[in-house]
Amino acid sequence: MTGNGWFQIFLFFGAVVLLTKPLGIFLYRVYERKPTFLDPVLRPIERLIYRVCGIDDTKETDWKDYGISMLLFSGVSLILLYLIERTQQWLPLNPQKLANLSPDLAWNTAVSFTTNTNWQSYVPESTMSYFTQMAGLAYHNFTSAAVGMALAIAVIRGVARKESKTIGNFWVDCTRSLLWILLPLCIILALALVSQGVVQNLLPYTQASLVEPQTVEKQAPDGTKSQDTVTTQVIALGPVASQEAIKMLGTNGGGFFNANSAHPFENPTPLSNLLEMLMIFAIPSALTYTLGRMTGSAKHGWAVWSAMAALFLAGVLVAYAVESRGNPMLKGVNTVASETQPGGNMEGKEVRFGIANSALFTTVTTDASCGAVNNAHDSLTPIGGMIPLINIMLGEIVFGGVGSGLYGMIVFVILSVFIAGLMVGRTPEYLGKKIEAFDVKMAVLSILVSSLTILIFSAISIVTKAGLAGISNPGPHGLSQILYAYTSGTGNNGSAFAGINANTLWYNSTLAIAMLLGRFFSVIPILAVAGNLAAKKHVPESLGTFPVTGLLFTVLLISVIVIVGALTFFPALSLGPILEHLLMNAGKAF
Amino acid sequence: MTPNPQAKSTSFGDRKILRNAIIDSFWKLDPRLMVKNPVMFVVEVGAVITLVVLVSNLVQHHGDFRFGLQITLWLWFTVLFANFAEAMAEGRGKAQAETLRKARAETEARKLRDDGTTELLPSSKLRSGDVVVVAACEFIPGDGEVIEGVASVDESAITGESAPVIRESGGDRSAVTGGTRVLSDEIKVRITSNPGETFLDRMISLVEGASRQKTPNEIALNILLAGLTIIFLLAVVTLQPFAIYSGAPQSVFALISLLVCLIPTTIGGLLSAIGIAGMDRLIQRNVIAMSGRAVEAAGDVDVLLLDKTGTITLGNREATAFHAAPGITDADLASAAQLASFADETPEGRSIVVLAKEKYGLRGRELAPHNPVFIPFSAQTRMSGVDMDGREIRKGAPEAIKRYIAEKGQQVPPEVQEHVARIANSGGTPLLVAANHRVYGTIELTDIVKGGIRERFDHLRAMGIRTMMITGDNPLTAAAIARQAGVDDFLAEAKPEDKMALIRNEQAKGKLVAMTGDGTNDAPALAQADVGVAMNTGTQAAKEAGNMVDLDSNPTKLIEIVEIGKQLLITRGALTTFSVANDVAKYFAIIPAMFAGTFPLLGTLNVMKLRTPESAILSAVIFNALIIIGLIPLALRGVRYRPLGAAALLRRNMFIYGLGGVIAPFLGIKLIDILISWLRLA
């Protein structure tokens, strides 16, 4: 660990702190339909959209209609993407003449992008046409993020409102997310990325001559081996910058290229790297302030934020420490950080980012359900790889996905408040709303769905031929690969221990189910809670009410999150990364 | 408050209860009963599975029989211990119900026929509306209302209080309870309940826990516990595939041990005991809650409405001083005041007589020769007094006396008006005394605020509960007493309908309101309040309307009821936290033990340095079972409640039960492990 490394980590953290309030206030103004400086341009467009789509923007709905609208919208979008993928070879903007996708891969990808997961079982530059990238994937990057934000706002309204039957209008919340927040920010950020060298074109891939020809071994179908000299390289291009911005800002994470944010055309410089990480945390962090603002308790917003920040810092600390320490099995190799080398475990990392920015990016992308990567998670040290795994297992609530992080966090807030309420001898209240059996039931259900999905699919995969076929390493690392895949899918993260070959019928179909369960089956109970809370009477605060602000609440919230997560996954983790770590220290690698 | 003698004789150590509880814990193994408690049901299923595997291993001669046997036994103990906790809690109520049942024993009733004659019939044949005659030494055959006569009644069967109470027709002391005994005189009682629905019947079923329904909060907690159980069930079930992949498949004993240790058995096993014990604690304080919901609501109360008289102040106002008008001596005033009060049977009237006697030695006055004509208090004149020897002596409220002397063109002297104003301002009640239309002076009646009440209100404030005094006094007097007693707010010149409006108003603001009441006119407000405590001395209507009855008829007890309600919730929360926090240590005991054979390196996680894998698993299971027994006294007694603000209380309980819950099992499991290896059990 170096001073420079810590400086970069805290530079990033400081920027997140500064962004939270102003962006949070802006989000609040947008969703509460208060005037903003963008109104003169956007209001006419908004009105036009409502008129064309026949939306009555003055009408709000209850949680059920809100949920149905959300499911319908996501469902239709999903089918649309599936159709584009299955017909791309006949569609325009396909200079590389890429073929249609297989049904299971197309389905997996369609689900993946609709659920804001962006798990990629394919190599984008050799699979997706420009048209599919732009009209299919980028479209979902925007809409799945907008859906998440709308849901978060609806849930906040449920907490904030008193004796109200409605929690908002899905179409209005979605439209405003897109027009006021995602589109303007993406235009600016895409330009910023272009300034750093991110490409933006619709050209066919170019051929380049290698400076140093490479000799590779080739195996013919009959088994005979031959040497082959490679002198040229195909360089993939495309409309990258425009997609990169929303990929990060919408915590989507689906790379334009297979190497994702490690690719120099996606993430060329340390500055672009910092920008991309900030884009991941910006909206999830700001939403905590919006929560405080809309519920009239700014301190509560900050208390929730603090819990997220503490868990984030803990993760980054461990990840940075273990990656800097490197692999003890590399005996006689100098892994000390110096002026000339970053030191530590550099396997799978880009030299332009080094240890600190790789550990930080890994923590950020898995805290938030982004899943973009600037280094290979599969190559992290066992404990370094356990950090992203745990981050996702906690439920993608450490800032979390745009919107989904906040509403996921509110589930834990409800559980914390319930326990706290019991311990102070009062029927638990959350910001004046009594937490009763129904709310607890739904909160528990929401957490159950995710945990069960991860554990059950991983357990089946680890003992079946179809599952075991995908892993690339034996022993505990193979277990980690499978665990990571389903954790990532269920948590709608999308990053992977990339050694796993998931482009099989088994993984494509089960991961698609995991992603759907993780997104939709866990949000419906939360919406139900929101609807239920909105209808409740407000109980004024008294000295006997447990405060949901301040350090005590933050500590309690963190404890509940860590205990629930740790207790659920400790057995699996002990046979995966923990065992691998102990074996590595004893001199055995996988 | 008088402790109930029956409750006293049924303390925790009682042998009979203990024996019955042990027997009951076996009866409760019935899966049809167990399934109501999902956590313990899972343990029972686990115990059955290990038993089956144990037997099949024995037949096939494989596996470690000694280890399997011990695990199986301790799993059954875990279930039995939980059942025992519940049976213990129920036992106290059952013993009490038995005594109550004796009181309900069949009695003869003398039913009054329309023609005025009586017929003898068993009390179980009485219907609501029947009128019975009860004479001295007879049992009152059913709940009812005295419609004629006055009698002293021994109610000790219900209240435990041996001093007889007066029951009379009309007014707020007309309700009688079946099973109590008339000591003197004869009364006519109109029966108000049908057989099986009497107060005693309800009380029996309540203390027995027969009609106990899960309270809303208990249901919510049960859902959380069921959710945790499902998560841990899956964590353990999926561990086997992971273990098989890792080349270390686990025995059924190890897996079920892990499962039972992880699911929240501590709180699951004690949950119903806590609920029953909470009701029982109320009963020990002579309060009968009509539902568990009411007890829980008591813990949530935001506003306490307290009647001034009897709750905040001692019974009634007392005369504390005489202030004579100019030209009149204090002794003259005292004499006149005493004469005017001889026929006044109200406590205030008596206190005037007493004060005159004590201060001016006016005693043993012979009035008969003077042919006194006593003028009773009337609502029109609002005065009372006496006419004798041609003198008209009157006492009454200042306004009334003013009107009275104005008839003869007299006026209240300014000095006296000053007295009146000063007394009213300081919370007292001024009465004027006049003789022959001349004002003699002022009697100062003072409310005596109960000792220690101020501190109790301070406690309530710390708990976040607002106290509100209800009084018929004028606002000035009310404000002075409110200040003196330290209540947060008051409602002066209150009529019954004002009380109702006040409750509705607070409830509309989302607050929970508690109140006490005894009169029939309190009934609507008692019904409207979230917690309505009716006094046992009160009318039948009041007792029907409230959701609790205080057998001691002590209005201050509302404060204790609130504390018991809070204590109930806190005990649940504390033990839930403790239960879940325990899991950390159990993981560190069992996981390394499971895989130590295949991966000795995982022994690093064996931070407790437990001797052998078998001993580690066994220690965790034993700790898990014993902690249930160990916490039974706490569950029955309840976590001690301290009147602190929510944040301070949470910090304290998190520290004790959260942090303590993490640390305690590390020590406990290590200790058991040492014992096991010393005894060579594993």
Distance between CA B240 and CA B250 in Å, rounded? 6
Q: What is the nearest CA distance from B669 to chain A, expressed in angstroms?
A: 18
Q: A38 vs A41, A43, A183, CA distance in Å?
A: 6, 8, 12
Closest chain A CA to residue B576: A419
- Nearest Cβ partner of A451 from B231, B246, B646? B231
- For the cut 70, the answer to whether the pLDDT of residue A60 exceeds it is yes
Q: Which two tokens stand for residue B504?
A: 């509705």
- For the cut 90, the answer to whether the pLDDT of residue B293 exceeds it is no
DSSP string, A183-217: HHHHHHHHHHHHHHT--B--PPPEEEEEEEEEEEE
pLDDT of residue B436: 84
Chain B interface test: which of A456, A573, A575 (most B C-beta within 10 Å): A575
Contacts of B232 in chain A (CB under 8 A): 567-568
Q: What is the nearest CA distance from B446 to chain A, expressed in angstroms?
A: 33
Distance between CA B97 and CA B211 in Å, rounded? 13
Q: What is the mean pLDDT of residues B8-25?
A: 72
Question: Exposed/middle/buried for B87, CB within 10 Å: 0-12, 13-18, 19+?
Answer: buried
Contacts of A451 in chain B (CB under 8 A): 231, 234-235
The 10 Å CB-count burial string (b at 16+, else e) for A79-89 is ebbbebbbebe
pLDDT of residue B8: 40
Query: For B104-215, where are the alpha helices, taking DSSP H only?
Result: 156-159, 199-208
Least confidently predicted of A117-121, A484-488, B418-422: B418-422
Check residues B563 and A88 and name the one with the higher pLDDT: A88
Question: Exposed/middle/buried for A325, CB within 10 Å: 0-12, 13-18, 19+?
Answer: middle
Closest chain B CA to residue A568: B235
Contacts of B462 in chain A (CB under 8 A): 543
Closest by Cα among B680, B681, B672 to B621 = B672
Q: What is the nearest CA distance from B304 to chain A, expressed in angstroms?
A: 14
Compute, in degrees rounded to 10, the torsion defined by CA atoms A449, A451, A454, A455: -120
Compute, in degrees rounded to 10, the torsion defined by CA atoms B633, B637, B638, B642: -120
DSSP string, B405-418: HHTTT----HHHHH
pLDDT of residue A492: 94
Residues in chain A: 590
Interchain contact, B224 vs A424, CB within 8 Å: no
- For the cut 90, the answer to whether the pLDDT of residue A506 exceeds it is yes
Query: Is A575 touching B (CB cutoff 8 A)?
Result: yes
Query: Is A525 touching B (CB cutoff 8 A)?
Result: no
Chain A interface test: which of B650, B655, B657 (most A C-beta within 10 Å): B650
Q: What is the nearest CA distance from A147 to chain B, expressed in angstroms?
A: 28
Helix H or strand E segment including B505:
helix B496-508
Q: Kindly report the backbone phi and psi dihedral angles of residue B167, in degrees, each rounded to the nearest multiple of 5, phi listed first.
A: -125, 130
Q: What is the mean pLDDT of residues B377-383?
A: 75
- Here the ipTM equals 0.91
Q: Which two tokens stand for residue A319?
A: 């990840």
The 10 Å CB-count burial string (b at 16+, else e) for B326-360 is eebeeebbbbbbbbbbbbbeeebbbbbbebbeeeb
> Cα angle at B353 between B351 and B357, to 5 degrees?
110
Compute, in degrees rounded to 10, the torsion defined by CA atoms B298, B303, B308, B310: 10
Q: Kindly report the backbone phi and psi dihedral angles of residue A152, in degrees, each rounded to the nearest multiple of 5, phi listed first.
A: -60, -45
Query: Is A415 touching B (CB cutoff 8 A)?
Result: yes
For residue range A309-341, list pLDDT tens digits in order. 999 999 999 999 999 998 888 878 888 888 888
Contacts of B638 in chain A (CB under 8 A): none
Q: Which residues pair with B429 in a beta bridge?
A: B445
Q: What is the mean pLDDT of residues A356-385?
A: 95
- Nearest Cβ partner of B220 from A420, A437, A544? A437
Share of chain A above pLDDT 70, in %: 100
Check residues B369 and B324 and name the one with the higher pLDDT: B324
pLDDT of residue B11: 46
**Mean pLDDT for chain A overall:** 93
- For the cut 80, the answer to whether the pLDDT of residue B413 exceeds it is yes
Least confidently predicted of A375-384, B75-84, B337-346: B337-346
- For the cut 90, the answer to whether the pLDDT of residue B462 exceeds it is no
Distance between CA A573 and CA B676 in Å, rounded? 30
Question: Exposed/middle/buried for B533, CB within 10 Å: 0-12, 13-18, 19+?
Answer: buried
Q: What is the mean pLDDT of residues A152-166?
A: 95
Chain A interface test: which of B222, B228, B245 (most A C-beta within 10 Å): B245
For residue range B562-610, list pLDDT tens digits in order. 888 888 889 999 999 999 999 999 999 999 999 988 899 888 899 999 9
Q: What is the mean pLDDT of residues A184-211?
A: 94
Chain B interface test: which of A300, A424, A545 (most B C-beta within 10 Å): A424
Interchain contact, A479 vs B242, CB within 8 Å: yes
Closest chain A CA to residue B644: A544
- Nearest Cβ partner of B238 from A421, A455, A476? A455
Least confidently predicted of A454-458, B172-176, B486-490: B172-176
pLDDT of residue A278: 96
CA atoms B188, B191, B195, B197: torsion sign? negative
Q: Which residues pair with A320 in a beta bridge?
A: none
Contacts of A570 in chain B (CB under 8 A): 235, 587, 591
Distance between CA A577 and CA A386 in Å, rounded? 6
Q: Kindly report the backbone phi and psi dihedral angles of residue B36, in degrees, each rounded to the nearest multiple of 5, phi listed first.
A: -70, -20
Check residues B309 and A37 and name the one with the higher pLDDT: A37
Q: How confident is the model at residue B472 (pLDDT cuts 50, 70, 90)?
A: confident
Contacts of B602 in chain A (CB under 8 A): 574, 578-579, 582
For residue range B161-215, list pLDDT tens digits in order. 667 778 887 766 778 888 788 888 888 888 888 877 777 777 777 666 655 667 7
**Mean pLDDT for chain B overall:** 84
Query: Is A562 touching B (CB cutoff 8 A)?
Result: no
Closest chain B CA to residue A441: B223
pLDDT of residue A14: 97
pLDDT of residue B315: 63
Least confidently predicted of A295-309, B128-142, B196-210, B328-342: B196-210
CB B176 within 8 A of CB B155: no
pLDDT of residue B230: 94
Interchain contact, B510 vs A462, CB within 8 Å: no
Q: What is the nearest CA distance from A82 to chain B, expressed in angstroms?
A: 33
Closest by Cα among A381, A466, A442, A574 to B238 = A574
- For the cut 70, the answer to whether the pLDDT of residue B379 exceeds it is no
Interchain contact, B569 vs A426, CB within 8 Å: yes
Contacts of B513 in chain A (CB under 8 A): none
The residue written with tokens 């983790």 in the block is: A573
Q: Which residues pair with B486 in a beta bridge?
A: none
Q: How confident is the model at residue B1 (pLDDT cuts 50, 70, 90)?
A: very low
CB B577 within 8 A of CB A437: no
User: Of B154, B307, B552, B673, which residue is the catalytic one?
Assistant: B307
| Catalytic residue status for B130 | no
CB A565 within 8 A of CB A393: yes
Contacts of A468 in chain B (CB under 8 A): 245
- For the cut 70, the answer to whether the pLDDT of residue B376 exceeds it is yes
Contacts of B163 (CB under 8 A, 6+ apart): none
pLDDT of residue B10: 42
Closest chain A CA to residue B583: A567
Query: Is A545 touching B (CB cutoff 8 A)?
Result: yes
Q: What is the nearest CA distance from A433 to chain B, expressed in angstroms?
A: 10
Interchain contact, B580 vs A415, CB within 8 Å: no
- For the cut 80, the answer to whether the pLDDT of residue B139 exceeds it is yes
Which 3 state secondary structure label does DSSP give A95?
coil
Share of chain A above pLDDT 90, in %: 82
Question: Exposed/middle/buried for B29, CB within 10 Å: 0-12, 13-18, 19+?
Answer: middle
Interchain contact, B464 vs A543, CB within 8 Å: yes
- For the cut 50, the answer to whether the pLDDT of residue A105 exceeds it is yes
Query: Is A486 touching B (CB cutoff 8 A)?
Result: no
Which range among A464-468, B378-382, B467-471 has the greatest average pLDDT?
Answer: A464-468
Three-state DSSP string of A114-164: HCCCCCCCCCHHHCCCHHHHHHHHHHHHHHHHHHHHHHHHHHHHHHHCCCC
Closest chain A CA to residue B298: A426
pLDDT of residue A308: 97
Closest by Cα among B646, B185, B139 to A543 = B646
Q: Which two tokens stand for residue B298?
A: 């008591």
> Cα angle at B128 between B127 and B131, to 5 degrees?
85
Check residues A414 and B484 and name the one with the higher pLDDT: A414
Residue window 454-483, chain A: list those with CB within 8 Å of chain B: 455-456, 458-460, 462-463, 468, 475-476, 478-479
pLDDT of residue B409: 81
